[in-house]
Structure 1
Amino acid sequence: MDVERREVFAHEALVRGVHGEGALQVLGRVEARHRFAFHEACRVKSIEMASMLGMQSRLSLNVSPNDVAGPTECFHTAIRTADRVRFPIDRLILELTEGEPVADLPALAATFRAFQSFGFASAIDDFGAAYASFELLAAFQPDIVKLDRSFVRDIHLSAVRFTLVKGLVAICDELRIKVLAEGVETPEEVQVLRGLGVRLFQGFLFARPGIGMLPTVAWNAA
């Protein structure tokens, strides 16, 4: 949510099982050798669905470091799919997750910079949750930094969290990077973060993930 404009800034596509299982449960059933293909199938389905729904907001898609550090297929797939279903590329956000180590940080940064010319936005997810967050930021300056919920939780009660977030927001302002606060659950958290200059928020305070309209991704690992 963009709280200043009082409008939806983006929808994030999340992996869920047919019975509402979380991403870790679903991905745990996919063999490592099929993981990239599964991620690709999910990203394609997400773009197709956004177009089908006539979505006017941005669409945020998760990509892992290993998806983009070497091969660039995920960028080509997203671009081809968006063109095929007539979803504007400039409404796509490719969101880099930090759930795995980055084997080749310079290559990862170079790949993102090369494909930004196509018009989509970029983001670093869960910033601060992984040991390499600032190393990644030094190598690659995205459009958006998504502040991990560990910094957001009860920030109105923690002088340490307040000081850390204040410093990070100042750094991002200097680099012209938007800051998005994840995991927001209380009005007090929003009030403090807005006072620090944050205007983008994501969390249960605004909405919980919805699964009622999601089509199943057909998947054959054979």
Structure 2
Amino acid sequence: MLVAAAVCPCPPLLVPEVAAGAAPELDALRDACGDALRLLAASRPDLLVAVGPAEVRDTSAFPAGTRGSFRPFGVALDIRLGMAQPNADWQPSPDVELPASLAVAAWLLRGWKACPVEGLAVGEQLAPERCAAAGRVAAASAGRVALLVMGDGSACRTVKAPGYLDERAEAFDAGVAAALAAADTSALAGLDPELAARLRAAGRAPWQLLAGAAGGAGLGGQLLYEDAPYGVGYFVAGWT
């Protein structure tokens, strides 16, 4: 059953080495993510499932130790899901690689020791009911399950945003923030996939997976961070 969840955004810029000189701009966001992970650890889970959007048709599971890399973003940094940061002479092996969202999750979890970790990629276009079903399966995968749910809000908050300005973006993000703050599974389940896609909100499918996993769990929510740097909506929340 689901005992806790943390919601974090998944921009590669969350990793200081990727952000480089702009890294201090997201320090508050990184701190909030750390607070959310501490809430997860305090829930004493048997299993942590890191969930992130990806270009897959349905869902795809990744075991602990799967490699993630930030080399596509110009940084010679590799990491393993559920493992400490590799030492300097570690070389990536030619195995299956984490999607970018789960590579960011692996970076956030680099000091995690509370329980075993698995990864789950969810297709960005996956229908809400399929997301909810995948969430119920994830919640039933161990006695006490915690989720780290990665996903960004709209990418259309300003004219300089990746998706340019869309006047619907601010209201969409406000609705997501309110749902995360209240642990409102119905509101998350009701997000419009078509609108989310138009607003380039990569978190829609993972959030709807969370809604399915949390149904009947009786969790309460708290919003730890809400902002739109670079014109993209970022949220951090904890459900316990």
Would you call these one fold, judging by a TM-score over 0.5?
A: no
Considering fraction of residues, name the structure with more helix.
1
TM-score by structure 2 length? 0.32
Greater relative contact order (CA < 8 Å, ≥ 6 in sequence): 2
**Rg larger in structure:** 1
Considering fraction of residues, name the structure with more strand.
2
